[in-house]
Amino acid sequence: MKHILITGVCGQIGTELVRKLRKELPNALILATDIKTPPSSVLSFADFELLDVCDTQAVQSIIQKNQIDTVYHLAALLSATGERHPALAWRVNLTAFFDLLEISRNHNVKMVIMPSSIGAFGPTTPRDNTPNLTIMRPTTMYGITKVTGELLMEYYYLKFGLDCRGMRFPGIISSETEPGGGTTDFAVDFYYKAVQNQAATCFVREDTILPFMYMPDAIDVLWELAIADSNRLSTRIYNVTAFSASAKDFENAIVKKILNFKVDYQPDYRQQIADSWPRSLDDSLARNDWGWNPKFDLEKMTIDMIKNLRLKLG
Ligand code: AKB
């Protein structure tokens, strides 16, 4: 029986990952944790304990007590929040992650899965069809913690045999839990505003192109990479993407379904972050090594998002 620990379960990914893990592993111990109490949906799929990932003693005690063998480490500050609180981003995204890796190797954890991000790239990275292995000089604290986290994962795998696996997620769009503090959050906001017949204010220019993925695909990435045969993995960290779109492309896709939707573009400090990230990713390694293949493009996602948000928001 698997004993799984999820940190940061209250975030955008965690709230949906628990459902998938429970479906795939009905008999597993799934221990979801966060510094705040989760929505009731999480509690119906997993046990829950309050946990501050910066409290090393508490992390160690939870891992030991529950004989954890697999960790999904989702606790993190996103890019825009990280720019406002760089020291906290370092502590949560990196110091706590380093401590978690140390605890894992010393207490029989077999696998650690941690999402990285397109934020790990920087302005000197080739921005189109960005390769898996390329220049990585991020200029945000978020990016610095993500690229360093990636290096730590490779190190712990090579030196200690800890099976670390990560994926560089693009902007993730979900109808269930709203993101908090990311640079790609504008796209999610468009859908919420459109369904409530409100105009959106967008904090990046309309021609800002970034890679994106719909949450059901992101959950598949997390599951498929975790169960992939280790012998087939040619790297520990994979680029993954579904489609690239500009802010205007999102607006146009929504207007096809909700005719009166309007966006006011008012770029702020997040424009500079977006401009330092890839416009599109080469994820052929993930496709070749473990069969990654997204199901949603912008149009399919837009139909599903609007349907789900109408049900949710009435
Ligand atoms: C963010 O915008 O910070 C995240 C990410 C791309 O990592 N959504």
* Distance from C-alpha of 138 to C-alpha of 150, rounded to nearest angstrom: 13
The pTM is what? 0.97
Q: Which CA distances in Å does 60 have to 77, 92, 99, 230, 296?
A: 21, 16, 9, 26, 38
* pLDDT for 179: 78
* pLDDT for 45: 96
Give the whole-number percent of the chain exceeding pLDDT 70: 100
- Residue 219 C-alpha from the chain's centroid: 9
* Distance from C-alpha of 67 to C-alpha of 79, rounded to nearest angstrom: 33
User: Of 142, 191, 214, 238, which one is the catalytic site residue?
Assistant: 142
* pLDDT for 278: 98
Which residues have C-beta atoms less than 6 Å from ligand 1? 78-79, 117-119, 169, 171, 182-184
* pLDDT for 164: 98
Task: Supply the residue whose CA is at minimum distance from atom 1 of ligand 1.
Answer: 182
Distance 119 CA to ligand 1 centre (A): 7
Q: Which of 85, 93, 140, 185 to mutate to test the pocket of ligand 1 (most atoms within 8 A of CB)?
A: 185
Task: Supply the residue whose CA is at minimum distance from atom 6 of ligand 1.
Answer: 171
- Residue 239 C-alpha from the chain's centroid: 12
10 Å Cβ neighbour count for 141? 23
10 Å Cβ neighbour count for 280? 19
* Distance from C-alpha of 107 to C-alpha of 139, rounded to nearest angstrom: 35
Per-residue HEC secondary structure of 74-99 comes to CCCCCHHHHHHCHHHHHHHHHHHHHH
Q: Over range 63-71, report the average pLDDT.
A: 98
Residue 269 has pLDDT above 90, yes or no: yes
Task: Give residue 32's identity as a one-letter amino acid code.
Answer: A
Cα Rg of the chain, angstroms = 19
Q: Among this protein's residues, is 156 annotated catalytic?
A: no
DSSP 145-158: HHHHHHHHHHHHHH
Residue 178 has pLDDT above 90, yes or no: no
Q: Give the DSSP H or E segment for 34.
A: strand 29-34
> 288 CB contacts (<8 Å, ≥6 apart)?
none
* pLDDT for 180: 87
* Distance from C-alpha of 276 to C-alpha of 93, rounded to nearest angstrom: 20
Q: Over range 206-229, report the average pLDDT.
A: 98
What secondary structure letter does DSSP report for 267?
-
Residue 172 has pLDDT above 90, yes or no: yes
With the CA atoms of 251, 195, 262 and 84 taken in that order, what torsion angle do they form, in degrees rounded to the nearest 10? -80
Confidence of residue 258 (pLDDT cuts 50, 70, 90): very high
Q: What backbone phi and psi angles, to 5 degrees, belong to 263?
A: -130, 135
If you average pLDDT over every residue of the chain, what do you get? Answer: 97
Query: Residue written as tokens 């795939």?
Result: 24
- Residue 211 C-alpha from the chain's centroid: 13
Q: Where are the domains of the chain?
A: 3-170+213-239, 172-212+243-278+297-313
Query: Residue written as tokens 């999402």?
Result: 115
> Does 3-170+213-239 carry CATH code 3.40.190.10?
no
Distance 203 CA to ligand 1 centre (A): 14
Residue 115 CA: nearest ligand 1 atom is: 7
Q: Are 203 and 268 in contact (CB under 8 A)?
A: yes
Tell me the two tokens of residue 289.
């090594």
Residue 228 has pLDDT above 90, yes or no: yes
In this structure, the chain runs to a length of 314
Residue 149 has pLDDT above 90, yes or no: yes
Q: Over range 63-80, report the average pLDDT.
A: 98
Distance 14 CA to ligand 1 centre (A): 15
